[in-house]
Structure 1
Amino acid sequence: MKNFELFLTQSGIPIFYVKVGLGFLFSFLITFFSVPTIIKISRRKNLMDEPGVRSSHLRKIPNLGGIAIFYSIGICASIFAYELFDLYKFLFASLIILLYIGVMDDIVVMRAYKKLVAQIVVAALIVIGSDIRIRSLFGIFGIYEMEYLVSVLFSITTFIILINAFNLIDGIDGLAGGYSIICSALFGISYYRLGEYNYPLVVLSAVIIGAVLAFLYYNLSNYRTNKIFMGDTGSMLLGCLLAFTSICFIDIFIDRELPNIPKYHLQSAPVVAVAILILPIVDTLNVIIIRLANKKSPFDADKNHIHHKLLKLNLTHRRSSFYIILYYLFVVAVAYYLRHMNVNLLLLIVVSLGFFGAYLPDFIYLLKNNKKTNN
């Protein structure tokens, strides 16, 4: 790869743009041509997702699409963004562990505590082994730089929450995949604007977008024989990678002396990261609050997710996903526009808008029922 980069340099071709283009293209193609084989094997071996309590589908669907996503990201990121694996030694090992527990859970359904233990190991490897952690809250709740142990525990908890949060929003066609593309695009654009030191993260974002875009071609397919879900394998992998990219984004704005790395300042960086990931964060908090209020276990399956509320309004999966993503893009736009505001006030606005979006379908449902009653 380094010889190839030398050839491009001597030819006057920008290496970065070639990496982004090829990373996206090959990631898309690998996923696109891998999924049909996975569907065929899944049907032959009956490795299907059975409709359950909180399912939004009525028939058995293959649910190992996450393997194709991992396959393409693992190959393309290692080739076109290899600097990340040089810099963060334990990143690839962590993704391998997630692949294993994801596939196990998709096939035989693992116990919750076993998944949690594996997720803690994965988070600890990245946070402690690769030193990817939240070092400061930039004044949120009056907290600035955190002590090492507090920073490690807080970062591990953040990874675990986001891994599971993306798993929870993967309830209808196109939502987890579409939202992952939006998050990757927003982080990728941000990294691009923040300078060439962050270019490997831009390439990683392009690779994720390519892989998920190809997966969505099948996930949103109307043809019964083509349809596939990403399963826990895909949702946990994407949750982990987006947690990684969001923490890297926050870390750029830490005020510290590092050689050959330019300084940037954005007091609201953690809130902007929260805004980009607001859908899985709010949806997870919302269902946990409802379950605890109803004196149920936070791990009990139900239909209180935002996407379930939109399906209750008789919207299709595609429309539900589109409206949810569109609303939460609006939240990101508000956060970006107000990014120089007081960090605590901005966090309050972002979280309030997030929860408003979670309950907006309920208000619409009540209004519709009232109109029917009055008529």
Structure 2
Amino acid sequence: MREYLLVILTGIATTYLLVSPVKSFAITIGAQSKVRDRDVHTIPTPRVGGLAMFGGVAGALIMASSLPHLRDVFEQTKTAPAVLLAGCLIVLIGVADDLWEIDPLTKFAGQVAAAGVLIMNGVQMYTLPTPFGGSFSLSQAYGIPLTVLLVVATINAVNFIDGLDGLAAGVVGLAALALFVLGYHIADALTYSSLVPPSLIAAILVSVCAGFLLHNFHPARIFMGDTGSMLIGLLIAAATIQMTSQFDPEIGRAYETYPLFLPLVLLPMVVVVPYLDMLLAIWRRTNQGMSPFAPDKHHLHHRLLRLGHSHRQSVLIMYGWVGLMGSCMVAISFVPPNSPNYLRGVVSITIVAAITGALFMVGWPRLRARRAAAAALAASAESDEPRPRLPV
């Protein structure tokens, strides 16, 4: 754990320190977000902050390569070159989009190519753990398309929610933290060394999101742009793929599969908000005869603002949803497999908390508006009352 903490601190510091020169570079080359109708910021803001995040990834990997326990990731697997090469490609596509707004088809091709780089370096779906014990082996005909689908869907899901200051970095950072804790716990319980690479990717992702969030939380001084949103989407997809497909079926049967199956469902559970937002946006746009990639101002975070939440409140609500799902998934991994009642309790608490959070999200702005209206009415009534005249 100490080595992971050192890598996380390195990633945070590197990302944080690189943001200032990247910001100056963005201003110099004119990479600033103009104020558009669908945006919520009111002044031009530098973007391509994802360059600093990629620098944080590289710095954290360099630190990991010098540590005794994590050095095996570089000597026994191709995880490090896979992350760097795929990340470099997706960053180049992101920078081009942030500067010149390239067409969606070109972006999609770049995302598929980045997934291909991961696959060529061994980061792909080989097995699917099942909730009933063991796992299914996947042939190349199924494993490769499934890997590409997961990578591209996750990249675009993260890209779709990058509409409020600190939203994408916080949501993905919380999801990566849940993945890291889950992977570390399972590897520690099973002494399963093959979980070190995905745990390392998750730890690095936590660090770069945290380091960038120090500059990006409202009011943001810099945006990550497509450069950053596609990068962190790629990384969390890579961590999930490796964590899902690294299990031996015999170990799965011995451990009765609860923790071994969780990586398969953890990603859609903890990023259910961006996935849901992406699916709703695609349905909404295609239903109106528009391109699925056409921008609009009807994302979930826009709806939260229209409900009456402030910028920070909207972001914190989204954090709460993701944190709740992630913590419940991690908590289930600590439950003995022969404790179904406790498992049902965790699921019940999750459902109740989600419903409560949804009611709060919708009801709190209206309650606050009613209180403000009542206070204004009371103040108006007091001002209309005749005041006693002073004796002459």
TM band (smaller chain): 0.7 to 0.9
* C-alpha distance in 2 between matches for 1:128 and 1:32: 32
Counterpart in the other structure of 1:5: none
Counterpart in the other structure of 2:245: 251
Counterpart in the other structure of 1:108: 100
* C-alpha distance in 2 between matches for 1:359 and 1:302: 23
Paired residue type of 2:292: P
Counterpart in the other structure of 1:152: 144
**Residues 312, 320 of structure 1: CA spacing in aligned structure 2 closer, same or farther, 3 A cutoff?**
same
**Residues 24, 106 of structure 1: CA spacing in aligned structure 2 closer, same or farther, 3 A cutoff?**
same
Counterpart in the other structure of 1:4: none
1:181 aligned onto 2:173? yes
Counterpart of 2:91 (choices 79, 92, 99) is: 99
| Structure 2: stretches of 5+ with no match in the other structure | 65-69, 375-392
* C-alpha distance in 2 between matches for 1:75 and 1:369: 46
* C-alpha distance in 2 between matches for 1:75 and 1:370: 48
**Residues 181, 36 of structure 1: CA spacing in aligned structure 2 closer, same or farther, 3 A cutoff?**
same
Counterpart in the other structure of 2:213: 216
Counterpart in the other structure of 1:315: 309
* C-alpha distance in 2 between matches for 1:367 and 1:77: 48
* C-alpha distance in 2 between matches for 1:46 and 1:110: 16
**Residues 45, 292 of structure 1: CA spacing in aligned structure 2 closer, same or farther, 3 A cutoff?**
closer
Asked whether the 8 Å contact 2:98–2:225 carries over to 1, the reply is yes
How many positions carry a matched residue from both structures?
346
Q: Equivalences for 1:6-25 in 2 at 5 Å? A: 16-17=1-2, 19-25=3-9
Asked whether the 8 Å contact 1:313–1:365 carries over to 2, the reply is no
* C-alpha distance in 1 between matches for 2:215 and 2:45: 11
1:48 aligned onto 2:45? no
| Structure 1: stretches of 5+ with no match in the other structure | 1-15
Paired residue type of 1:59: I
* C-alpha distance in 2 between matches for 1:302 and 1:192: 40
Paired residue type of 1:244: A
Paired residue type of 1:135: T
Q: Equivalences for 1:1-375 in 2 at 5 Å? A: 16-17=1-2, 19-80=3-64, 81=70, 83-86=72-75, 87-88=77-78, 89-133=81-125, 135-136=127-128, 138=130, 144-195=136-187, 197=193, 198-220=195-217, 222=219, 227-253=221-247, 255=249, 265-266=257-258, 268-269=261-262, 270-335=264-329, 364=363
Aligned residue for 1:41, secondary structure, equals helix
Asked whether the 8 Å contact 1:135–1:251 carries over to 2, the reply is yes
Identity of aligned residues (%): 22
What is the CA distance between 1:330 and its match in structure 2? 2.5
Aligned residue for 1:315, secondary structure, equals coil
* C-alpha distance in 2 between matches for 1:76 and 1:169: 26
TM-score (norm 1): 0.79
**Residues 287, 366 of structure 1: CA spacing in aligned structure 2 closer, same or farther, 3 A cutoff?**
farther
Aligned residue for 1:312, secondary structure, equals helix
Paired residue type of 1:116: F
Deviations, residues 146-186 of structure 1 (Å, cap 9, x unaligned): 44312211211110010111111111011111112111111
Paired residue type of 1:133: M
